[in-house]
Structure 1
Amino acid sequence: MEWISLLMFLVVCLVLMLGYPVAFTLAGTALIFSVFGLLTNIFDHALLNALPSRLYGIMTNQTLLAVPLFVFMGVMLERSKVAEELLSSMTNALGRLPAGMGIAVTLVGALMAASTGIVGATVVTMGLMSLPSMMKAGYNQSYATGVIAATGTLGQIIPPSIALVLLGDVLSSSYQQAQLSQGIFSPETISVGDLFAGALIPGLILVVMYLLYSIYVGVFKAQWAPKPTQIEQVSLGDLLSSLIPPLVLILVVLGSILLGVATPTEAAGLGAFGAMIIALFKNKLDLPTLKSVMLSTTTVTSMVFMILIGASIFSLVFRGFGGEELIHSLFENMPGGKIGALITVMVVIFLLGFILDFIEITFVVVPLVAPVLFVMGVDPIWLGIMIAINLQTSFLTPPFGFALFYLRGVTPSSIPTSAIYKGVIPFIVMQLLLLVGLAIWPEIATTLPNMIYG
């Protein structure tokens, strides 16, 4: 019977590749297979009786309330032109440095990632704002598109990230499930704050690596990044006025979580309110803008929760056909033990990142494999950061990376797709080096959470 669960997973992947909506593909495929199982008496319908309680749990989950609030914060900052003003000021301030525009894009992209946490929105926004200026200044097409795509994916790992909020909630449930399977009844869980703390150092390391690459390009590949002939002077006051508001907002939101002053949901509410205050001071907050932001927030949030509902139905039916036991037996009999299982999971998640967004992978794949890995002794925080960086790398990898599709959509036809593919290769190498470093030294991700939360 276990082979049916594997067939169901393959059918879901096939239907998704045909372009059908993710949420309805997950739920529809699972229900069709459950009907088949009921008709052939190989599926216990009692499992589906747990669905109402699952859905009620989603509706009352306090952690997931942070999702619409963080989305609201990011969209409000985007509509208030905070990133546009910051990029203009940073470009004028750093333009005389080697690859100064690339450095400015990296710094602004990192701040945007911490502000929005949405990969697609950051890539598109940075592409529309910075690519025309870099092309006008004579920057190499591959370098310009590569740095924009790579910095756009930083929203996957730099907190406060929506991906980490969702991943933290799923890992917490998986960790509790793993403990119960071992007969351990403990209130200990994995919080979103743990993942935020664990992702902070790897995220900063990645930003530093990107900056070092831009400096290398500016010094040793000067023809790729010529200095602009005309640079507008920017006063210190203008630079600080564009830099301080988003920076203070990020520090307040992230700091309140890490210091234990506020929960992620409370901090997200503070961030949403702070974004409105920034927009108000910039005279960008009016009724049409507020309606637009609320509509975008509702759309994104609805998508997330519909996928979560579909994934809940899928996971129940998958377990009903013995899928969980199949995964457990595969991992136990895999050559290399825990290391072999980890490598397999990372490869599968990387490949699925070509056809699934982080939301689907978080809700569908992680709950299936994480409990088994936790039973094998894998650190939950380290695993969460590894998955996040792995997905970030997958989103950049040609030919199917999501970030490449987002950037291609806003890139002039004069820039070939091959230039975008070539430009992201150095950044993929840097991310793989970070993954290897995390595998060798897990303390990179676990030291800060242990220091803060014990």
Structure 2
Amino acid sequence: MISEYLPLLLFALVFLLILFGYPVAFTLGGLSILAGVLMYDIDFFYLLSLRIYGTMHNFVLIAVPLFVFMGIMLEKSGLAESLLDTMASLFGRMKGGLAVSVVIVGGMLAASTGIVGATVITMGMISLPTMLKRGYSPTLATGTIASSGTLGQIIPPSVVLVLLGTVLNVSVGDLFTAAIVPGVILVGLYIIYIIAVSYLRPDAAPSISKEERQNFWSEGAWKKIVVAFVLPFLLILLVLGSIFAGIASPTEAAAVGAIGSILLTVVQKKFSLTILKEVMRDTTFLTCMVFMILVGATSFSLVFRAMGGDRLLSDLITQGGFSPHLFLAVVLLVVFVAGFFIDFIEIIFIIVPVAAPIFSAMGVDLIWIGILIALNLQTSFLTPPFGFSLFYLKGVAPPEIKTSHLYRGIVPFVAIQILLLVAVIVFPEIVSWLPDWLDN
């Protein structure tokens, strides 16, 4: 009887060791191999080599290093700084215009990079001192930056969506298409909230001075707009447009994005061999981390299923009378709490493969599930006291910014995230409308 629950014990032990700080890839792989050898024999792991070889042949996964390269290159290009200066001047007359600019720039960087940590840190270093200098409330400034920086979780091309598509065994292009409407709604809700606060509390988000606006328009404004706004927009259009139009696969579009990011860096006059080496080194580091975790997760999945773990979970859910919505609530809660302690890559490779076959057996749309998990992870990364984005921002914030400013500032944005998450659960059409319209 006890042996039936060994898969759950293995799952719990993996989670416990990760929480104690052991490396995720080696914890997953090491424990799984140990359990496999004890339960079966070493020949059993011949299947593992076949699975890893199959993963190496997965063409979609090539998009991961290409999108990572694209994001890091654009971070080094100075694009964020140019975008923010230009957008702030364009919206300068409006109360809260600088904060609105931060949200729009965050959305554009998300669509250009898809890397949350890099976006939050870049936005924090560039825009937080500027917002504070111009009299913005520390709570509104920090909340705006942290929430805008996490848009890379849901706005394509997102590394999160690429990995979710691979694990859920659904089209990454379909996931990208389905994520567009929720992503745009989220940006819109952020902007509405900022405008409302700006008019209710004008001292919290003052407009830019008339002199600054005049200086912008008198010093080659249109050239700045083309370089800072139009060129990145064209890159996004090339990457996403080629996927949605069916011209290119996500991997091919990622290659276009990588080349485009180099050209944009050249236009910004920031390109050098030193920059290229740094970008290649950082890309290699992040890619190796992702794929080492993938190898560990493949070992875990093989042993977990051989021990009957997926069948055990399915039986427990069936016997417990779980409806699809109740099971969804449990999975989202587990993912939300896990997001406080471990990175999205580990969550996608540990929790999602266990839940996906059950959702599939229940007849639930896996594209919808993928978008919900991405939104849920994004909410988790913003939620005090453990949100990763808050730690990233605190690390680059000026000394006068206290942790309490971060916590109070982010609460309204977390409420907006939860509101959208609930709306997507209640109205799945938010996710399915654009893919259905494009198919027709």
Range class of TM-score, shorter chain: over 0.9
What SS does the aligned partner of 2:212 have? coil
Q: Check conservation: 1:44, 1:320, Cα contact below 8 A.
A: no
**Partners of 1:197 and 1:75 in 2: how far apart?**
23
What displacement does 1:276 show?
1.0
What displacement does 1:306 show?
0.6
* 2:123 is the alignment partner of 1:123: no
Give the counterpart letter for 1:258 in structure 2. F
Name the % identity.
50
Cα distance change of structure 1 residues 248 and 260 upon mapping to structure 2, 3 Å threshold: same
**What's 1:208 paired with?**
188
**What's 1:402 paired with?**
388
Give the counterpart letter for 1:220 in structure 2. L
**What's 1:220 paired with?**
200
**What's 1:287 paired with?**
273
**What's 2:427 paired with?**
441
**Partners of 1:399 and 1:69 in 2: how far apart?**
33
**Partners of 1:254 and 1:319 in 2: how far apart?**
36
Unmatched tracts of structure 2, length 5 or more: none
What displacement does 1:453 show?
4.0
What displacement does 1:243 show?
0.2
What SS does the aligned partner of 1:231 have? helix
**Partners of 1:25 and 1:413 in 2: how far apart?**
37
**Partners of 1:151 and 1:8 in 2: how far apart?**
37
What SS does the aligned partner of 1:285 have? coil
Structure 2 counterpart of 1:53, from 50, 59, 74: 50
**What's 2:5 paired with?**
3
**Partners of 1:358 and 1:20 in 2: how far apart?**
16
**What's 1:105 paired with?**
102
Q: Check conservation: 1:118, 1:162, Cα contact below 8 A.
A: yes
What displacement does 1:405 show?
1.2
What displacement does 1:295 show?
0.7
What displacement does 1:60 show?
1.3
**What's 2:163 paired with?**
166
**What's 1:176 paired with?**
none
What SS does the aligned partner of 1:398 have? coil
* 2:90 is the alignment partner of 1:93: yes
Give the counterpart letter for 2:286 in structure 1. V
Structure 1 counterpart of 2:29, from 15, 23, 27: 27
Structure 2 counterpart of 1:265, from 226, 232, 251: 251
Aligned length: 432
Cα distance change of structure 1 residues 356 and 2 upon mapping to structure 2, 3 Å threshold: farther
What displacement does 1:266 show?
0.5
- Stretch deviating more after TM superposition (148-157 or 330-339): 330-339
Structure 2 counterpart of 1:194, from 174, 182, 190: 174
What displacement does 1:13 show?
1.7
**Partners of 1:453 and 1:362 in 2: how far apart?**
28
Q: How does 1:314-329 map to 2 (within 5 A)?
A: 314-329=300-315
Give the counterpart letter for 1:254 in structure 2. L
**Partners of 1:99 and 1:290 in 2: how far apart?**
37
**What's 1:156 paired with?**
153
Q: Check conservation: 2:36, 2:44, Cα contact below 8 A.
A: no
* 2:230 is the alignment partner of 1:249: no
**Partners of 1:20 and 1:115 in 2: how far apart?**
32
Q: Check conservation: 2:111, 2:236, Cα contact below 8 A.
A: yes
Give the counterpart letter for 2:302 in structure 1. L
**What's 2:212 paired with?**
231
What displacement does 1:54 show?
1.0
**Partners of 2:334 and 2:421 in 1: how far apart?**
15
**Partners of 1:448 and 1:171 in 2: how far apart?**
20
What SS does the aligned partner of 1:394 have? helix
What displacement does 1:336 show?
4.5
What SS does the aligned partner of 2:380 have? helix
* 2:432 is the alignment partner of 1:452: no
Give the counterpart letter for 2:422 in structure 1. V
**What's 1:347 paired with?**
333
**Partners of 1:53 and 1:122 in 2: how far apart?**
37
Unmatched tracts of structure 1, length 5 or more: 173-189
- Stretch deviating more after TM superposition (210-219 or 21-30): 21-30
Give the counterpart letter for 1:215 in structure 2. I
**Partners of 2:289 and 2:186 in 1: how far apart?**
29
**Partners of 2:382 and 2:311 in 1: how far apart?**
33
- Stretch deviating more after TM superposition (224-233 or 206-215): 224-233
**Partners of 1:344 and 1:400 in 2: how far apart?**
20
**Partners of 1:363 and 1:450 in 2: how far apart?**
29
What displacement does 1:58 show?
1.6
What displacement does 1:47 show?
4.4
**What's 1:180 paired with?**
none
Q: Check conservation: 2:89, 2:208, Cα contact below 8 A.
A: no
What SS does the aligned partner of 1:262 have? coil
Q: Check conservation: 1:99, 1:214, Cα contact below 8 A.
A: yes
Cα distance change of structure 1 residues 418 and 204 upon mapping to structure 2, 3 Å threshold: same
